[in-house]
């Protein structure tokens, strides 16, 4: 088995997937598989090549995409519905960008540290996330778990991916909503979102010049309790919508491409062609009502079970 598995990871990224959509992927795919000693996979249907490549990466080269895809896939395979969740990557928080931000029943930040990442900034990164997100997790390997645990606040949760490519909770995140930093928090929002949050809460228009909207919204937010602002924040971010083409791709793509389905950029026509190319023959499993794979606070779990 070849050790060049880093050359396999790019097939899960946007540039290659757009080549698949346009039917221009075969030479690159063949070369990448050959470089890893996997050229025998070329006889398989395209969806199955992605599935087999994903398995190889899980076993031999757990790059950031593998972590993100396992998180995204498990989130939607649990009791979380697509229409009630917004997932985005590289979400800016102060001096940092959180690898995966999830807005569902609450706000979740997932910072990923693979075996190929530096741990130098993990302390400052998680401290930034605590200023905005209710629940904060570091997701890493068993190899780096203890090192990460010493470098981050004890209130931050930790998830690891075991040798089978399955998520395991090492410790749960505490709730940080009461520590909301309004200045950092407002920096995460678009101006229209801030205004919508205030108007939703007060029922009154924010009638000030554009240059004063940030200050006026800060004044209004200060009059609320932190948990009220957190709820408005989550409700507003959940209104950010995925393109219809991406949602169709998410529904039909194989498990190895769930995260790519949400984050892929391209024209609606490109994404639809990719969906067709990937899903002509791939057998989707029967729907399952999984237990929660990712942790939820108990009060929210009860609420999730009550909701249709």
pLDDT by 10s per residue, the chain, length 308: 446 899 999 999 999 999 999 999 999 999 999 999 999 999 999 999 999 999 999 999 999 999 999 999 888 776 566 677 889 998 998 888 999 999 988 999 999 999 999 999 999 999 999 999 999 999 999 999 999 999 999 999 999 988 888 889 999 999 998 889 888 989 899 999 999 999 998 888 888 998 999 999 999 999 998 889 999 999 999 888 889 999 999 989 999 999 999 999 999 999 999 999 887 554 554 444 444 445 555 444 444 444 43
Q: C-alpha angle 140/17/260, rounded to 5°?
A: 35
E strand or H helix that includes residue 256: none
- Dmax over CA atoms of the chain, in Å, equals 65
Last residue of a domain, one of 211, 237, 263: 237
| 198 within a domain of the structure (yes/no) | yes
CATH of the domain at 120: 3.40.1350
150, exposed or middle or buried, with CB in 10 Å at 0-12, 13-18, 19+? exposed
In a domain, 230, yes or no: yes
Which position has the token pair 């070849």? 2
Domain with 100 in it: 66-177
CA angle 104, 105, 108 (to 5 degrees): 60
Q: Which of 141, 136, 140, 170 is nearest to 156 (CA)?
A: 136
Q: Look at residue 275 and tell me if it is in a domain.
A: no
**Contact assessment for residue 42 and residue 73, using Cβ atoms and an 8 Å cutoff:** no
Same domain (yes/no): 163, 206: no
pTM for this predicted structure: 0.85
Check whether residue 116 and residue 98 sit in a common domain: yes
Separation CA 296–CA 28 (nearest Å): 41
Question: Rounded distance, CA 14 to CA 274, Å?
Answer: 11
What is the number of alpha carbons within 13 Å of residue 67 lying toward its C-beta? 24
Count of domains forming the chain: 2
């Amino acid at each position: 088995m070849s050790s060049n598995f880093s050359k396999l990871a790019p097939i899960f990224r946007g540039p290659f997937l757009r080549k698949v959509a346009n039917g221009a992927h075969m030479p690159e795919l063949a070369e990448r598989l050959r470089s890893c000693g996997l050229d025998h996979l070329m006889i398989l249907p395209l969806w199955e090549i992605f599935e087999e490549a994903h398995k190889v990466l899980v076993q031999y080269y757990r790059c950031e995409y593998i972590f993100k895809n396992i998180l995204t896939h498990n989130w939607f395979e649990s009791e979380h519905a697509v229409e009630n969740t917004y997932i985005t990557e590289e979400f800016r928080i102060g001096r940092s960008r959180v690898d995966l931000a999830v807005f569902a029943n609450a706000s979740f930040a997932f910072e990923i540290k693979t075996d190929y990442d530096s741990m130098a900034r993990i302390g400052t990164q998680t401290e930034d996330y605590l200023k905005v997100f209710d629940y904060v997790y570091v997701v890493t390997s068993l190899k780096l778990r203890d090192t990460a645990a010493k470098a981050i606040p004890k209130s931050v949760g930790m998830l690891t991916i075991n040798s089978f490519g399955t998520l395991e909770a090492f410790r749960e995140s505490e709730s940080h909503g009461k520590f909301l930093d309004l200045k950092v928090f407002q920096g995460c929002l678009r101006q229209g979102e801030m205004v919508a949050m205030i108007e939703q809460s007060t029922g009154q228009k924010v009638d000030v010049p554009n240059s004063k909207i940030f200050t006026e919204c800060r004044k209004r937010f200060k009059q609320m309790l932190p948990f009220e602002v957190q709820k408005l924040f989550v409700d507003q971010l959940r209104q950010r919508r995925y393109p219809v083409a991406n949602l169709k791709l998410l529904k039909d793509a194989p498990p190895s491409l769930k995260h790519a389905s949400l984050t892929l950029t391209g024209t609606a026509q490109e994404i639809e062609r990719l969906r067709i190319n990937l899903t002509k023959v791939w057998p989707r499993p029967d729907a399952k009502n999984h237990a929660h794979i990712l942790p939820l606070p108990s009060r929210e779990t009860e609420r999730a079970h009550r909701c249709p």
